[in-house]
Amino acid sequence: MLNLITTLANRLRPQSRSEIELAYLNSAASLYDLEQRQAQIERGLFRGHTNGLHFA
C-alpha cells in the first residue's frame, strides 16, 4: 500500500528543471541535434519552467 502511494506521489510531483532538461537532451536524434539542444538550454530555454510542464 505504501509503495502504491509513493509511486503515485512521484508521478504527480512536478518535474525539476534539471529533469526536464535531461529528458529534452535524451530525445536528441543526432549529435548535431544534441549540440543545438545544449545551446538552447544554455541560452535559458527552460528558465522559469519549473511548474511541472513537460517539453518534448
Q: What is the pLDDT of residue 35?
A: 97
- The grid cell for 55 is 517539453
pLDDT of residue 46: 85
**pLDDT tens digits along 17-56:** 889 999 999 999 999 999 999 999 999 988 876 555 554 4
3-state helix, strand, coil in the chain (%, to 5): 60, 0, 40
Output the nine-digit C-alpha cell for 53. Answer: 510542464
The pLDDT of 1-22, averaged and rounded, is 86
Give the CA distances from residue 50 to residues 4, 12, 24, 36, 42, in Å, rounded to whole numbers and listed in that order.
25, 14, 14, 21, 16
Is the pTM above the cut of 0.85? Answer: no
Q: Where are the domains of the chain?
A: 15-56
Return the pLDDT at 52: 52
